[in-house]
Amino acid sequence: MSLLDKFSVQRGLAASLAENSRVAPIATPMDDVHSATSATINGRRVILAGTNNYLGLTYDADCRAAAISAIESLGTGTTGSRMASGNYAGHRALEHSLASAFGWPAAIVFSTGYQANLGTLSALAGEGDTLLVDADSHASIHDGCRLSHATTIRFRHNDPENLDRRLERLGEAASRTLVVVESLYSTLGDRAPLREIVEIKKRHGAWLLVDEAHSFGVFGPRGLGLCEDQDLLGEVDFIVGTFSKSLGGVGGFCLGRHAEVEFMRMVSRPYIFTASPPPPVIAATHQALRKVLQGHDLRARLSRHAERVYGELNKLGFRLGTTTPGPVAAVVFDSRDDALALWQSLLDAGIYTNLMIPPATPSGLSLVRISLSAAQSDDDIAQIIAALAAHARRARPPLAA
């Protein structure tokens, strides 16, 4: 057997997708990007509805100006990790602003959101500890668990009773157990039952980490996420997030309600051995954070878009990943071919979305993921809805569950 024979399944999948679509539906190449909501794909201008750019800040004038200024004064990169030559004043200032926004004593900035989970979980938990993780958590969470060498146990997705039973079995070991959930799951757009999870972890004396990657900037009075929105910041121990969604950049962070989080820098290998984020990224992200904290109008606009799209999808009879409107609208299919047909139909109508298929999706489902943005106009939303309606007339989708 050859070293590369293991990729035969992927080779077949790539060939099948190429045969059934005119543009690569996975890692779709963009010829040009014109704005937060517009790009050219295969020579045609399209509306971007698959970018996670929830507040549309990638083209914000103040964020771009901050990045340009940082390039002029500090250059394009640090060429060093935070533990070496890459610990600039901008990195420390951003950490201070994040911690201050939450009123918590510690914040650590990582080079990517993926590394934020790897670096946080592997630093917080080790041999003799337990990680109790929602089964549908992002790959970065599961990979962080592997790197930690802690005992990892999965509980059923969004199932507080299953979590409760597993903590009960751990007994006294619950005091060295970290429960890990996402607040908003990016694949189906569903939300964690945070209040129930908080109550259970408190009763058993466990710890709780919430990944707010897709909810930061979107929910809460100041945009700090669903934990703020539900008045739970005083009950959660750690929050991780990313700069690559609402903040429009790249990078990640960990925040702790406990001052000891600061010492994670000394043991977190993804933090120690990775070059720090470039100055223009940090400067733009810091400016975006200011916009988030003041972004009531942006959040209200995004919420109106979500209510409108969810309402129309329900009327059209599409099966959705959740009934609660949010920035992610997932149209779910049991068949990969049906999902691919909708994705291609939308692209033909000038709407770019995300095709998601197994093994990257839970329960073997295939889906088309629509990502909404405050930067989208009412006309953009109308075009998205019209394209969905046209497809529904041609091929009746599965009825909503």
Question: What's 265-325 look like in SS3?
Answer: HHCCHHHHCCECCCHHHHHHHHHHHHHHHCCHHHHHHHHHHHHHHHHHHHHHCCCECCCCC
pLDDT level of residue 396 (50, 70, 90 thresholds):
low
Mean of all residue pLDDT scores within the chain: 95
**Per-residue pLDDT tens digits for 242-297:** 999 999 999 999 999 999 999 999 999 999 999 999 999 999 999 999 999 998 99
pLDDT level of residue 365 (50, 70, 90 thresholds):
very high
Percentage of the chain lying above the pLDDT 70 cut: 99
Peptide bond into 160 cis (omega under 30): no
CB 324 within 8 A of CB 352: no
Q: What average pLDDT does the segment 48-72 reach?
A: 98
Sheet holding 177-182, edge to edge: 106-110, 252-256, 238-242, 207-211, 177-182, 130-134, 151-155
Spell out the domain ranges in the chain.
15-55+296-394, 61-293
Is there a shared CATH topology between the 15-55+296-394 domain and the 61-293 domain?
no
| pLDDT value at residue 401 | 43
Q: Would the pLDDT of 326 be above 80?
A: yes
Query: In CATH, which of 2.40.160.20, 3.40.50.261, 2.40.50.100, 3.40.640.10 is domain 61-293?
Result: 3.40.640.10
Q: Would the pLDDT of 94 be above 80?
A: yes
Tell me which H or E stretch contains 20: helix 8-20
Nearest to 207 by CA among 155, 256, 139, 140: 256
| pLDDT value at residue 25 | 84
In terms of pLDDT, which residue wins out, 276 or 400?
276
Tell me yes or no: is domain 15-55+296-394 CATH 3.90.1150.10. Answer: yes
Between CA 202 and CA 177 the distance in angstroms is 12
CB 112 within 8 A of CB 251: yes
CB 95 within 8 A of CB 89: no
**Per-residue pLDDT tens digits for 204-218:** 999 999 999 999 999
Q: Which residue has the tokens 């073997």?
A: 364
Torsion of CA 345, 349, 352, 354, to 10 degrees: -20
pTM above 0.75, yes or no: yes
Q: Would the pLDDT of 1 be above 90?
A: no
| pLDDT value at residue 361 | 86
Q: Would the pLDDT of 22 be above 90?
A: no
Burial class (CB in 10 A: 0-12, 13-18, 19+), 6: exposed
Q: Would the pLDDT of 399 be above 70?
A: no
Q: Which is it for the CA torsion 167, 172, 173, 179, positive or negative? A: positive
Q: What average pLDDT does the segment 231-239 reach?
A: 98
Q: What average pLDDT does the segment 139-150 reach?
A: 96
Main-chain phi, psi angles of 320, to 5 degrees: -110, 155
